[in-house]
Amino acid sequence: MSIESDYYIFAEPFILALYLIFIFLSIQIWFLWKDIDKSELNVKSFFTDSFFKRNCIYMYYFSVFFISHGFFNGITVPELYFNVLRMLTLSGLVLFTYDWYSVLEPCATRKSLPKELVDFQFVSKKH
């Protein structure tokens, strides 16, 4: 087997899993954000130096791989390199999203399921 066929066998499911994890975490952040009391939220309480540094590293990581993917797009390079860059880019985005989720979760006042998922009549009502 060639390297590219091995890549598609093992890495494509990993990329799909990363996409699903990113979508799940994004939805969880959206639900958490609805439960956070923004008037009592002290921004300085969860913006520590380590949090800021980690987020800068994740965004730098994401940006470098995203720009590298665009730069090498015009050059004749094996498809394997593009797929590896795509996987690295997405992993940086997932790490960034997970970091935000882990910081926002303790700030939520309510830990219940969202009203939209429990009450179907709420969704059908027109406001």
Out of 31-35, 37-41, 60-64, 98-102, least confident range? 37-41
Rounded to an integer, the average pLDDT of 89-103 is 89
Instruction: Give pLDDT tens digits for 76-95.
Output: 667 777 777 788 888 889 99
Average confidence score pLDDT of the chain: 76
Instruction: Give pLDDT tens digits for 41-88.
Output: 666 656 777 888 888 888 888 888 888 877 777 676 677 777 777 888
In this prediction, residue 23 has a pLDDT band, given cuts at 50, 70 and 90, of very high
Domains of the chain: total: 1
pLDDT for 94: 93
Quick one: CA dihedral 55, 61, 64, 65, positive or negative?
negative
Main-chain phi, psi angles of 87, to 5 degrees: -65, -40
Which residue range forms the structural domain that includes residue 91?
3-124
pLDDT for 88: 85
User: Between 11 and 22, where is the model more confident?
Assistant: 22
pLDDT for 21: 94
DSSP class per residue in the chain: --HHHHHHHHHHHHHHHHHHHHHHHHHHHHHHHHHS-TTT--HHHH--HHHHHHHHHHHHHHHHHHHHHHHHTSS---HHHHHHHHHHHHHHHHHHHHHHHHHHGGG-S--SPPHHHH-HHHHHS--
**pLDDT of 31 higher than 90:** no
